Amino acid sequence: MTIADVKKSAQERMNKSIDTLKADLAKVRTGRAHTGILDHITVDYYGAATALTQIANVTLIDARTIGVQPWEKKMLNAVEKAIRDSDLGLNPSSQGDMIRVPTPMLTEERRREMVKLVKNEAEDAKIAIRNIRRDANESLKKMVKDKACSEDDERRASEEIQKLTDKFVADVDKMVVEKEKEVLTV
């Protein structure tokens, strides 16, 4: 393994941490309806737990309403039950072959809870990024010990990995500020 391999691996893993954070933040409910909040819901589809998006068309009807249209009419009740039983606090209602899912306005208290949740997700991402930095630095130290690189090269690479870490932590902070603004907007 070379110094370039260590840096490339660290950058790829940090990118994955950012992608995971983006996915986690997309699940956090804001005042507006968006189809992403239903992504983690699973429905009992002929005895198998199946993602809602694989058995139904999920669309936005308006700013506060999500429309869910199962591809099979007999799945209507199962889909409605799965949405109602989820931890999102939504109350779907059937209308013909479509389920309307109105998203209620968030109270100020609930918005504050959402902001705390966003900050916790961000802190988890920062911890993951710092752990990646630690792993990379340990790999560099091992390379010096095995005489695969000089101490000067190891020091320079450590500085580059620190700069990479700082960049990714700044990206996390920027994402959190945007999501907070989105959650607190009435």
Look-up: residue for tokens 């990995």?
A: 161
Please tell me what DSSP assigns to residue 5: H
- Determine the average pLDDT of the residues in 130-151: 91
pLDDT surpasses 90 at 168 = yes
114 within 8 A of 77, measured Cβ to Cβ: no
**pLDDT level of residue 31 (50, 70, 90 thresholds):** low
| Residue type, position 166, single letter | D
pLDDT tens-digit readout, 46-92: 888 888 888 889 888 887 888 999 888 888 888 888 888 877 778 88
CA distance 78 to 41: 12
The enclosing H or E element of 110 equals helix 108-145
pTM value is 0.70
- What are the tens digits of pLDDT across the range 88-113? 778 888 888 888 988 877 788 878 88
Cβ contacts of 44 within 8 Å, gap of 6 or more: 50, 78, 82
The whole-number average pLDDT for the span 112-127 is 89
The answer on pLDDT for 3 being more than 80 is yes
Alpha-carbon distance of 114 to 24, in angstroms, equals 12
Give the domains, in start order, of the chain with CATH numbers.
3-27+107-184 (1.10.132.20), 35-102 (3.30.1360.40)
Position 186 scores a pLDDT of 64
Average pLDDT, the chain: 87
Is the pLDDT assigned to residue 185 strictly greater than 80? no
